[in-house]
Amino acid sequence: MTHIVSAFDEDLTQIQAYISEMGGLAEEVLADALRAVQTSDMELSRKVIERDRDIDAMERKIEEAVIRVIVLRQPVAVDLRVLIAAMKIAGTLERIGDLAKNIAKRGMPLANAQPIKLTSSVVRMGREVLTQLSDVLNAHAARDVDLAVQIWNSDVEIDEMYNAIFREVVTYMVEDSRLIGQGAELLFIAKNLERIGDHATLISEMIYYIVKGESLGDDRPKGEPLGPVAGA
């Protein structure tokens, strides 16, 4: 019996290690995508796009490990919650990888364009989102419910940054039609970042579910809806 319990604990530890590895990959590709946008580095953008396959592979590895443990160990209570959450978190990290890949793709047309100050606003938002992702992965590793709830509540700040960038970019495009192409790419990048922030809050919800055994809620604070754009 002791051997069975020990083997089960090892399985759970291995799955946690896979989540940490996949989370680290997601952080890396997002950081690289932002750096590629900031520095107009086409080659780095291509590398981000290629590395998305590594994240996809990690998701498959986690899914297979979780299914195997459920079939062999028949876990209950908190152990079952850990496994269910692991699959959901893996899916969430895979989507974050896809969004980072999209950011890299959107950044490629900007590489040949004249830099504009709006890019720095988007990169600044990206850094906030990257910090949020790093924090929620740390919260998951530590089962830190308080930090998870804090991140869940703070996503409103990411929403507000997106709204501010949206207004700023659209105003620039209205005032100077030559910036429409660049502005559109920056808006797509900012929207992808806002969605990554949303996915980070989903991981917060999974942490709460693991520890508390119940839902954190569906009334996450959100930024103010977009209003009229100046100059429109």
Per-residue pLDDT tens for 105-164?
998 888 776 666 777 889 899 999 999 999 999 999 999 999 999 999 999 999 999 999
Mean pLDDT score of the chain, rounded to an integer? 89
Max mean pLDDT range (107-111, 198-202, 216-220): 198-202
- Least confidently predicted of 40-44, 113-117, 147-151, 183-187: 113-117
Q: What is the pLDDT of residue 9?
A: 87
**CA quadruple 179, 181, 187, 189: dihedral positive or negative?**
negative
95: tokens are: 């989507």
Cβ pair 37, 110 in contact under 8 A: yes
Q: What is the pLDDT of residue 218?
A: 66
- In the chain, DSSP finds a helix count (H) and a strand count (E) of 6, 0
Per-residue pLDDT tens for 79-114?
999 999 999 999 999 999 999 999 999 988 887 766
**Domain-located, residue 223:** no
Whole-angstrom Cα distance, residue 44 to residue 215? 39
84: tokens are: 């269910």
Give per-residue burial for 85-100: e unless 16+ CB within 10 Å, then b.
Answer: bbbebbebbbbbbbbb
3-class SS at 213? coil
**Domain-located, residue 226:** no
> Which of the pair, 64 or 109, is modelled with greater confidence?
64
**Domain-located, residue 221:** no
* Burial of 46 (C-beta count, 10 Å sphere; 0-12/13-18/19+): middle
Q: What is the pLDDT of residue 232?
A: 36
**Domain-located, residue 111:** yes
Q: Phi then psi for 25, rounded to 5 degrees? A: -65, -45
Q: Which CATH number fits the domain that encloses residue 67?
A: 1.20.58.220
- Tokens 């590594």 sit on residue: 54
157: tokens are: 């700040």
Residues across the chain? 232
Q: What is the pLDDT of residue 6?
A: 79
Tell me the whole-structure pTM to 2 decimals.
Answer: 0.90
Cβ pair 34, 103 in contact under 8 A: yes
- Least confidently predicted of 22-36, 114-128, 168-182, 213-227: 213-227
Q: How confident is the model at residue 228 (pLDDT cuts 50, 70, 90)?
A: very low
Domain of 45 in residue numbering reads as 2-212
124: tokens are: 């600044």
Q: Which residues contact 43 (CB under 8 A, 6 or more apart)?
A: none
**Domain-located, residue 218:** no
Percent of the chain with pLDDT over 70: 90
Whole-angstrom Cα distance, residue 169 to residue 37? 16
**Domain-located, residue 55:** yes
Q: How many independent structural domains does the chain possess?
A: 1
Cβ pair 125, 189 in contact under 8 A: no
Q: Phi then psi for 12, rounded to 5 degrees? A: -65, -40
